[in-house]
Amino acid sequence: MNSESGQKLSLEELKQRNRASAFSVPAAPPDTPTRQDRENLLAVLTALYRLESTNSSRLEHLEASVAAQEALFRALSRQVGQLPTQSQLEALARDVAQMRAELKQAGKKKELSVSPPSLETALSVLIWLALILLGTLVGMVVLRTIWSGLAALWSAMRTLIP
C-alpha cells in the first residue's frame, strides 16, 4: 500500500499507524441524548415554566396594584384643591370655640341682671310718655267740648220746657 509520501509500507507498519491515529482522535459524543439527559432537561423546563407563571402572576398583581395607586393618587390630587386653607381652618376653630362657649352658657341658669337702661331705651320711653300725655290732653279737650255742648243743650231744653 502507498503512504502519503508515496512509499510502500509493510502491513505491520500500516497497522501501527492505524492504531496510533485511533488513539489520537478523541471519541465524539453521542448524537442522541440519554434518558437521564432528557429527564434532567424536562425537569429544568418544568421548573422554568413554573417560575415564569409565578413571575407572570406577580407582575399582573403589581400592575393592578400600581393602577389602583395611580387612581387613588389622582383622586387625592383633585381633593387637594378642595381642602380649606390655614386661615379658613383658624376661622373655623374660632367659630367652634365660640359655639362651645355659647352651649356651655346655655346650660347654666340665667342670672338676674339689672342694668341701667341705655340712652336709646330712655329716649324711646320718654317719647312714649309724651305721646300718651298728648293723647290724654287731646282726649280731655274733646270731652270738655262734648260736655259743654251737652250743658248748652240742657239749658236750652230747660228754658223750652217750663
Express each pLDDT in 4-49 by its tens digit: 555 677 888 878 777 766 555 455 555 778 889 889 999 999 999 9
State the pLDDT confidence band at 85, using cuts at 50, 70 and 90. confident
pTM above 0.75, yes or no: no
Sign of CA dihedral 131, 134, 135, 136: positive
Highest mean pLDDT pick, 10-14, 60-64, 112-116: 60-64
Give me the pLDDT at residue 126, please: 87
The residues, any chain, with a CB within 8 Å of residue 1's CB and separated by 6 or more, are 8, 9, 14
Buried b (16+ CB within 10 A) or exposed e, 53-92: eeeeeeeeeeeeeeeeeeeeeeeeeeeeeeeeeeeeeeee
Q: Is the pLDDT of residue 139 over 90?
A: yes
